[in-house]
Amino acid sequence: MIEVRVHGRGGQGGVTSAEMLAIAAINEGKFAQAFPSFGPERRGAPVIAFARVSEQKIRNRTKVYTPDVVVVLDPSVLSIVNVEEGLKSDGILVINSAKSLSELRSEYGFKTSLARVDATHIAMEELGLPITNTTMLGAAIKARSLVPVEALIGPLEVRFGRIAAKNIKALQRAYKETEVDLI
Amino acid sequence: MQKKAILLGSDAVAHGVKLSRPQVISAYPITPQTHIIETLSEMVDKGELKSQYIKVESEMSAIAAVLGSVSAGSRSFTASSSQGLAMMHELLHWFAGARLPLVLVNANRALGAPWNIWSDQSDSFSQRDTGWLQIYCETSQEALDTIIMAYKASEQLMLPIMVMIDGFILSHTMEQLLVPDQQEVDEYLPAYRPPYQLDPDNPLTFGGAAQPDLFYELKKTFSETMTEALTIIDNCQDEFANKFGRKYKPVMRCLEGDEKSDTALLCCGAMTGTARVAVENLRENGTSIDLYKLRLLRPFPNRELAEALKDKKRVIVLNRACSYGVGGTLSQEVRAALYNLPQRPLVNDVMISLGGKEVFPETIAEVVGNREQLSAIDCNWL
């Protein structure tokens, strides 16, 4: 079982990221769950969402406490939330940041495997908006091959309709541009 | 053909309702139930569901609106949660007493004070004496299926049924399930044909006054119907299994193996999923343990439960609702059902969660590991 935690701010589409990943995994014949951190909706506040992907039926109903993959949609949460909390020793942190891998390591002291991409820059170019939830999906699956890139196209087309093409392009660009530093 | 779908729990509920073709829907939003009625109102707006959607200003009005629509002979639906369900309380009694069929979905949530929006079964457990049937669901698939079965049973019994999903844990989680085909649901659940209804051409008195002796006789009949309800629910579940391939029982043994185990865990709702993980881990580590889930709280399956647990030495009941001054509400029901067994098991009453407190597989394993230290009389809090 692979467990994913997505950090973002309320309204940035973190739950949608988790859901797209779960749908893609299920379409690939796996089992999956996606859910928000249960509570009131809080636009702008740091929030988290979760996904589980497994070869077996998933019965556990707890939140994700020891993720294999942590995705950070918004670099501004890095200084206020411990995004590394509970991350498995062989897990990977996937961050949207304009900073380099070494800059991120020295600034935040990250010890685990790290991946980064400037998702805000890609989203601004491709979508015209600083909304990185679909872009960061490309980074996440580059960092850990949860599902093939193609598996996300269908779910995105269903969810985003006429703006799906732009989101798919942003996702594919992030998949190519993501840098991975495995420990 | 059933269609594979990936849905939020609340959307799975909405699909179950849509497939049941209610003619009237009335509800008032409350977290964590709101998505259910939002999805239904969209379905009505798009013309996917031909139903009259009545907007109201409170839960009391919502239940009153469907009281009217069912009296007029329309299959109806409402949903609520927590304070909203509590606000309906007076008319919940009235609904059942008037022998009107309805399906209400309750997303289990704590009652204040203090303010809390998370999963807790105290809201529906505290409505258990209203004369409604109550069914608790482990998964979204179970919720979707149960709604369809509940309409069938409700209309056969002329009694309302409350279907429970754990707030957030089921309502806000997306997972895969099978959505039955509309035509097959129509075959299973034909249109509602009320035996009596409000009709200007054939005036009748609804909910009129009853003198003491008549009142007693009516309540006696009501109680007998509740007893028969077990068989009718079971028949509806068996018929559903034959048609759709998913089998449900009032009490269900959850995991194969360990038949000879003398200790059992019992719970209801979504917690059962986590308990399955705990039991699998315990068994791998050499602890022999059995797991049961209770789907039906009213009518309470006394005989079925006693039969299932008669050879156990210990039953540990995991509660998500409290009757303060006694302990876990579910534990009291289980104790009463097992009391007449010639060799009754010890019942340990455990308050595993309230107000959304996380239930970890490890917490359950720890409770089982420390079972010899659990009080047999008092409620065991963590």
Distance to chain A for B169, nearest Cα, Å: 7
A100 to chain B, minimum CA–CA distance in Å? 35
Question: How many Å lie between the alpha carbon of B292 and the closest alpha carbon of chain A?
Answer: 15
Mutation choice for B interface testing from A61, A147, A156, A159 by most B CBs within 10 A = A61
Confidence of residue B166 (pLDDT cuts 50, 70, 90): very high
Res. B259: pLDDT tops 90:
no
Taking the whole predicted model, whether its pTM rises above 0.95 is answered as yes
The distance from CA B62 to its chain's CA centroid, rounded to whole angstroms, is 19
CA dist., res. B182 & res. B43, Å (int): 15
List the one residue out of B187, B167, B120 whose CA is nearest residue B330.
B120
Question: Cα B148 from chain centroid?
Answer: 13
Decide if A39 and B117 are in contact by the 8 Å CB cutoff: yes
| Dist CA A45 CA B222 (whole Å) | 52
- Chain B residues within an 8 Å CB radius of A39: 117-118, 168
Any alpha helices (H) in A57-118, and if so which ranges? 101-108
- CA dist., res. B353 & res. B236, Å (int): 32
Q: What integer best gives the mean pLDDT of chain B? A: 97
B221 near A CB under 8 A? no
Q: Which residue ranges make up each domain of chain A?
A: 2-181
Q: Per-residue pLDDT for B128 more than 90?
A: yes
Give me the pLDDT at residue B1, please.
85
Nearest to A77 by CA among A100, A102, A49, A113: A49
Cβ separation of B356 and A35 shorter than 8 Å?
Answer: no
Residue A171 to residues A167, A168, B144, Cα–Cα distance (Å): 6, 5, 34
**Under 8 Å between Cβ of B295 and B136:** yes
pLDDT of residue B263: 97
Residue B361 to residue B282: CA distance in whole angstroms: 10
For residue A27, the distance in angstroms to the closest alpha carbon of chain B comes to 9
Predicted confidence at residue B207, as pLDDT, reads: 83
Which residue in chain A is spatially nearest to B278 when comparing CA positions? Answer: A60
Q: Which amino acid is at A127?
A: L
How much helix, strand and coil, in percent to the nearest 5, is found in chain A? 40, 25, 35
Cis, bond preceding B299 (omega within 30 deg of 0) = yes
- The per-residue pLDDT for A39 is 81
Mean pLDDT within A98-125: 96
B3 touching A, CB under 8 A?
no
CA distance B366 to chain A (A): 16
The first and second tokens of residue A99, run together, are: 């900073």
Evaluate if residue B282 carries a pLDDT over 80: yes
Instruction: Give the model's confidence band at B303: pLDDT under 50 very low, under 70 low, under 90 confident, else very high.
Output: very high
- Whole-number Å distance between alpha carbons of B142 and B185: 15
Mean pLDDT computed over A168-174: 97
- List of residues 6+ apart from B150 with CB closer than 8 A: B103, B133, B135, B161, B163
ipTM of this predicted structure: 0.93
- How far is residue A77's CA from residue A6's CA, in Å, rounded to a whole number? 11
The chain B residue lying nearest A64, using CA atoms, is B360
Nearest residue on chain B to A29, alpha-carbon basis: B176
Please tell me if residue B31 touches chain A, with a CB cutoff of 8 Å.
yes
CATH class, A2-181 region? alpha beta
Q: Are B261 and B302 in contact (CB under 8 A)?
A: no
Which of B151-162 are b and which e, b meaning 16 or more Cβ less than 10 Å from the residue's Cβ? Answer: bbbbbebbbbbb
pLDDT digits 0-9 by tens, A140-162 = 999 999 999 999 999 999 999 99
Spell out which residues of chain B touch residue A60, defining contact as CB-CB under 8 Å.
Answer: 273-274, 277, 361
Instruction: Name every chain A residue with its beta carbon within 8 A of the beta carbon of B268.
Output: none
Query: Kind of pairing, strands A69-72 and A92-96?
Result: parallel
Task: Tell me which chain A residue has its CA closest to the CA of residue B361.
Answer: A60
Minimum CA–CA partner of A35 in chain B = B173
* Residue-level pLDDT at B10: 98
- Which chain A residues are closer than 8 Å to B356 by Cβ? 38
Distance CA B183, CA B202 (A): 33
* Strand order through the sheet with B52-55: B52-55, B24-27, B76-80, B103-108, B161-166, B133-136, B296-298
Which helix (DSSP H) or strand (DSSP E) does residue A94 occupy? strand A92-96
- Could you tell me which chain B residue has the CA closest to the CA of A52? B175
Joined tokens for residue B345 = 């098991």
User: Who among A26, A38, A60 is closest to B273 (CB)?
Assistant: A60
Contact A19 B172 (CB under 8 A): no
Amino acid at B380: N
Residue A41 has pLDDT above 80, yes or no: no
The DSSP line for A132-176 is -HHHHHHHHHHHS-SS-HHHHHHHHHHHHGGGHHHHHHHHHHHHH
Whether B72 contacts B197, CB under 8 Å: yes
The span from the CA of B232 to the CA of B91, in Å, is 25
For every residue of chain B, which 3-state class applies, written as one string?
Answer: CCEEEEEEHHHHHHHHHHHCCCCEEEECCCCCCHHHHHHHHHHHHCCCCCCEEEECCCHHHHHHHHHHHHHCCCCEEEEECHHHHHHHHHHHHHHHHCCCCCEEEEEECCCCCCCCCCCCCHHHHCCCCCCCEEEECCCHHHHHHHHHHHHHHHHHHCCCEEEEEECCCCCCCEEEEEECCHHHHHHHCCCCCCCCCCCCCCCCCCCCCCCHHHHHHHHHHHHHHHHHHHHHHHHHHHHHHHHHCCCCCCEEECCCCCCCCCEEEEECCCHHHHHHHHHHHHHHCCCCCEEEEECEEECCCHHHHHHHHCCCCEEEEEECCEECCCEEHHHHHHHHHHCCCCCCCEEEEEECCCCCCCCCHHHHHHHHHCHHHCCCCCCEEC
The b/e string for B98-122 (b: 16+ C-beta within 10 A; e otherwise) is bbbbbbbbbbbbbbeeeebbbbbbb
Q: A115: helix, coil or strand?
A: strand
